[in-house]
């Protein structure tokens, strides 16, 4: 790929801002639900997850632990008052593993992807989260990896772990922005998700989350009851692709997500 084309693709990977309809629900009720949701998740971690971590670590039954994580994620979505509408499931082949790459506007996205991808799934998370006591330990057992590109050896170890998890029949979910975006925003995608797809040889499935920023957006301090929309878009093949194809694959994936989110402001 020429340097000029590479620069054009990099320039295309910029922040987009979409129209955001403000909620007309009671902010007081939203704050109460927000703290109730975190009370529920804290209770799950302290009184259910911790004993299970000890038991399943000893027994080395990660599939069983995944089932408990799925239950916990569903319970938390209920505590948040969230219902989920999923479209595009017909785009997925039964029994096949994928790299799901999505936007990220809310904590709700993580639980929703984990539950509604329709298959056993691992997640790629910030490396800092793996250092959190109990929580980080559980993430490691629950097929959550962190790819630290600043440390080549650790990045290599993480990719090898990811390959092993894929061989065990799991898919992976990656929030390619690397952090939660502010309500209405789509941040530039990072390359790590595409690297993972190329290393594992799995197809990429773009996923668009809508309305989660209105229900429990970043820095809003509220959680409103409502419907999460999760759109599973047609897969993008990585067959025959090399490191030279990283930016084209990244832009194709991001454009698919952006198109599903609507028309950004200024266009």
Alpha-carbon gap, residue 15 to 38, rounded angstroms: 30
Backbone angles phi, psi at 38, to 5 degrees: -75, -30
Backbone angles phi, psi at 211, to 5 degrees: 80, -10
Count Cα atoms within 13 angstroms, Cβ side, for 130. Answer: 15
Q: What is the pTM of this model?
A: 0.91
pLDDT (tens place) for every residue of the chain, 267 residues total: 677 677 777 889 999 999 988 888 999 999 999 999 999 988 987 887 777 777 766 555 566 777 888 898 999 999 999 999 999 999 999 999 999 999 999 999 999 999 999 999 988 877 766 666 666 666 666 678 876 666 777 777 878 888 888 888 999 999 999 899 999 999 999 998 999 999 999 999 999 999 999 999 999 999 999 999 999 999 999 999 999 999 999 999 999 999 999 999 887
Count Cα atoms within 13 angstroms, Cβ side, for 11. Answer: 6
Residues in the chain: 267
Question: For the domain bounded by 24-261, which CATH number is listed?
Answer: 3.40.1130.10
Alpha-carbon gap, residue 191 to 45, rounded angstroms: 32
The answer to whether 141 and 125 are in contact (CB under 8 A) is: no
> β-strands 82-87, 226-232: how paired?
parallel
Domain boundaries, the chain: 24-261
């Amino acid at each position: 790929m020429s340097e000029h084309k590479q620069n054009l693709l990099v320039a295309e990977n910029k922040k987009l801002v979409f129209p955001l309809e403000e909620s007309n629900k009671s902010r007081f009720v939203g704050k109460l639900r927000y703290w109730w949701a975190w009370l529920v998740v804290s209770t799950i971690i302290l009184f259910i997850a911790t004993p299970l971590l000890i038991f399943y670590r000893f027994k080395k039954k990660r599939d069983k632990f995944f089932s408990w994580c799925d239950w916990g994620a569903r319970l938390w979505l209920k505590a948040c008052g969230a219902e989920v509408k999923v479209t595009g499931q017909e785009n997925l082949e039964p029994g096949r593993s994928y790299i799901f790459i999505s936007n990220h506007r809310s904590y709700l996205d993580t639980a929703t992807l984990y539950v509604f991808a329709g298959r056993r799934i691992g997640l790629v998370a910030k490396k800092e989260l793996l250092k959190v006591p109990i929580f980080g330990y559980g993430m490691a057992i629950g097929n959550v990896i962190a790819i630290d590109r600043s440390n080549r050896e650790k990045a290599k170890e993480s990719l090898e772990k990811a390959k092993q998890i894929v061989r065990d029949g799991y898919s992976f979910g990656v929030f390619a922005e690397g952090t939660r975006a502010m309500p209405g925003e789509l941040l530039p995608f990072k390359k790590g998700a595409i690297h993972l797809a190329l290393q594992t040889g799995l197809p990429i499935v773009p996923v668009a989350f809508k309305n989660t920023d209105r229900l429990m957006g970043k820095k809003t301090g509220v959680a409103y009851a409502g419907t999460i929309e999760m759109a599973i878009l047609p897969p993008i093949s990585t067959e025959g692709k090399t490191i030279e194809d990283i930016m084209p694959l990244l832009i194709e994936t991001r454009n698919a997500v952006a198109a599903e989110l609507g028309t950004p402001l200024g266009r």
